[in-house]
Chains A and B, each alone.
Chain A
């Protein structure tokens, strides 16, 4: 069973690497984030990935402290989307990847992904748009090895805007998926 799971995970990672972004891009972005100036040193970091295209199957597990560590990518929780889109942009792939890895390494961890939409249009349709965004994040995490039952994707539609203005910068801020771990 465990072997099967590992094989499946490898296949999923290969599939993702082939169809989405390259492993080197992901590793590069993750390194850049860890080296972000100003932040305290991370409490626990993933093993540095050699830029060979190969992905490590087992990282040193990260504790829950990493989720709150401003220097760790895991403290970043928001994925932003373009208008009427649920496509996860390249800049957010390292973030989603890091959380997927955390879920994989912490089988007891669970999260809710809260989708949001901007204020324009029908409230119920916007619930559905936010749902599509949160599911898009969930699907990517599943491809990266998180279990479906670790992630509940839900939507707040336009009901809980982060930015309350009625202009494009506010709308862009509200087209979002937020990651919230159980117990937070």
Chain B
């Protein structure tokens, strides 16, 4: 059995993006030719906020310049249009350097300026200001002390502040995603930044791994591995790398989902015959508590953000449909009625809707249903879309799809307008799960 390790798999990334208005963001420096996840953006938001991100003072000498990461984050959201900051000499780094008439002429509504300087302890002081061009005022400004290894994370945090200041929603650029990569016969559970950079292999096996699920505090992953010649649910710490089987009962064990307080896992066990939903402790101790009692398939549990409701997939009515039930008890209620195949429900972070996969003809697509009105919106048009999960701000949905016979990760905005594609060359990526906000 492979030992649990967290080790960097990729030291460098090709990060290329182009937005719909054909503005090319400069490429990040490429320390090696080890290309991996690339992000392609299809479509844009209804309105795009024009913003200029001016290269920070002294960032040119860094192994990881900060502003290309900030600009890429903002552009990837589809909600910003990047305004060219070229041709200025000297570049503005402080508010008093700004000639607002230039930015008005370039139709920028906001300008990001800043600087990087080395601290006596070797770390870097990274500071930025978000300036309003029309009012000529500062909208936000922060300074960060970061080690060289933390410069990307710092850039994501700056992008989060800009995003939140200008759109009102929290940014998700400093969050992480988990997914499975299939490389030949080998399966790797990886965790990466939301932009696909910094991927680490958390666990690998020659048998399939599936269904990664983030603990609410982002420190642990639950997942299913077939390494024991049957599905077994594991929980692994992302800080120590240690893992343990938490559901290894007679039969199959699968579909882990964390309760919002992190104190229990919903899992699907077949120990009593049939796939039914049980609650267990995340350390695997104690007796499973059976939650559903049907002679049908009950699987894919998911908790509402307040922990009071549970969604799941069941074919008790003859076809797989999504049901909801009170965790405290009560009869499950069928929620989906359109079509004969609705599966893989996941609540939105505000609990007001859920995303799921709906089969339409022979296609499987990501859809969203409102909990109150039951109105359904189909967001994607691939042929095999799977495993949708919301970003923690509810603005994007990450899912797996297939392009030319191999699995790729994609994301779609919850209004369906912006689509991103993340793909790793030469491999098969699937089973994505978007992690929580960092605590």
Contact = CB atoms under 8 A, between A and B. Distances in A.
Interface string B83-111: 00000000000000000000000000000
Given A121-B364, A152-B251, A160-B208, A135 B274 contact: yes
Interface string A5-38: 0000000000000000000000000000000000
Contact of A123 (B230, B405, B431): B431
A91 interface: no
Interface in A103-144: 112, 114, 120-125, 127-129, 131-132, 135
B270 interface: yes
Nearest to B211: A124
A128 B268 contact: yes
Contact of A154 (B210, B252, B320): B252
A159 interface: yes
A81 interface: no
Contacts, number: 93
Given A125-B343, A128-B268, A132-B297, A153 B313 contact: no
Interface in B371-395: 384, 386-387
B343 A112 contact: no
Nearest to A130: B252
A156 B226 contact: yes
A127 B255 CA distance: 9
A155 interface: yes
Nearest to B319: A84
B387 A154 contact: no
A127 B253 CA distance: 9
A132 B208 CA distance: 20
A51 B298 CA distance: 44
Nearest to A159: B208
Q: 7 shortest A-B CB distances, which residue pairs?
A: A154-B230, A128-B275, A159-B208, A122-B343, A128-B297, A124-B255, A128-B299
B353 interface: no
Contact of A112 (B229, B320, B431): B229
B230 A152 contact: yes
A112 B299 CA distance: 22
A41 to B, nearest CB: 33
Interface residues of A, number: 23
Nearest to A180: B229
B300 interface: yes
B192 to A, nearest CB: 20
Nearest to A156: B226
Interface string A142-169: 0000000000111111011000001000
A122 B313 contact: yes
B250 A152 contact: yes
Contacts of A160: 208, 226
B172 interface: no
A137 to B, nearest CB: 13
A154 B229 CA distance: 9
21 contacts: A114-B229, A114-B230, A121-B320, A121-B359, A122-B386, A123-B386, A124-B210, A124-B255, A124-B313, A124-B344, A125-B343, A128-B297, A131-B274, A135-B273, A152-B251, A153-B270, A154-B251, A154-B270, A155-B231, A156-B208, A156-B226
A81 B61 CA distance: 63
B357 interface: yes
B437 interface: no
A122 B300 contact: yes
Contacts of A153: 251, 270
Interface in B234-267: 250-252, 254-255
Contacts of A127: 224, 231, 252, 254-255, 268, 275, 299
Nearest to B273: A135
